[in-house]
Structure formats: structure tokens, C-alpha cells
Structure 1
Amino acid sequence: SISSTTRMLIIYIFLLFFFFSQSLPFTKIAHSITAQDHQPTPDSCILSMVVGQLKADDDPIMGFHQSFILKNINEAWVCTNDMFRLALHNFG
């Protein structure tokens, strides 16, 4: 079992890794995590869901949802599954 502070740090590091390791078509990005939920799984993994907002360059703020599974393999946390979606809605 890991502490909530450690879980939050894992989430933050994972998000930073995801956004800054990609070859993306913008120069700066800011993010804000507005909600997060974490649950242990029967096979000693952690299922996490993160909701937040992104702002890239001068674009409007966009919401996002990200769910992923972290598994402890040889004393290192590895992301085994990841789903990321921008929360874009067309109300017109």
C-alpha cells in the first residue's frame, strides 16, 4: 500500500512525462488537476483516474480525462494501460 502523497506524486510525474515526452505542435502547456481518484486492484495494481484542464499556447482551456493502471514491477511503478481524452464538446 502506498500513501496518498506518493500516489499524487506518481500521477503528477506521469502526466508531466506524457505531455513533455511527446512531439507536440505547441511550445508551452499548462495543466491543472481538478480531481483524482485511485483504487487498488485485486492484482496489486493501482487504477487511477485524473480530471483536469490544459492550456496550450494561446488556445482556449480544454478539459481532459485520463485513466491508467500502474503496476509495481521489480520495485518500479510501470504504466500498463493508459486512456487519455480531451473533453471537447460541440454545442452548436
Structure 2
Amino acid sequence: MWVVQSLPFQRVAHRIASTDAQPSISNGIFVVVTGELLVDEEQNPQRFTQAFQLIPEGNTYWVLNDIFRLNYG
């Protein structure tokens, strides 16, 4: 079984570069975020992109889809 606590780092911070959102089906919101992950405050941040869809339910939202990608190169 894979356990998050066994990862070789202690802390990850996010530095958001951009956030884009647009309406989607059933009054939802499609969101795309780009930025950098700072692992244990290293000097080499890892670039990432994340896209997810928020669906309204009552006074809150839940995530229907979530795609996270580290961008190497």
C-alpha cells in the first residue's frame, strides 16, 4: 500500500502563476491553475499545471474532475 507519509519530503508550498476559470455545464466552473511547487523550500521549484471542474451543490462546490501534471523540461 502506498502511503503519503513515506514520500521523501516534509513540506510543499505552492507559488501560483496564473488561474483561469470559465463557466461549465450545470452552472459549474472549469479552472486551470499554473505555478510552481517548492519542495522543502528547495532552490529548484517544479512547474505544474492543474485543471479541475467544480460542481455546485447547495451553498458549496465539489470537484468532479481533477488533473495534476508536473511539467518537466
TM-score by length of 2: 0.82
Q: Which has the higher helix share?
A: 1
Listed as ranges, the matches of 1:66-81 within 5 Å are 66-81=50-65
Does 1 or 2 have the higher relative contact order (CA < 8 Å, sep 6+)?
2
1:33 aligns with 2:45: no
**4+ aligned runs moved over 2 Å, structure 1:** none
Q: Which has the higher strand share?
A: 2
Q: Structure 1 stretches of 5 or more lacking a match?
A: 1-21
Q: Please tell me the root mean square deviation across aligned C-alpha atoms, in Å.
A: 1.8
CA distance in 2, matches of 1:74, 1:40: 17
CA distance in 1, matches of 2:43, 2:65: 29
The number of equivalent residue pairs is 68
Partner of 1:65: 49
Q: Structure 2 stretches of 5 or more lacking a match?
A: none
Letter aligned with residue 4 of structure 2: S
- Secondary structure of 1:60's match? coil
CA distance in 2, matches of 1:33, 1:45: 22
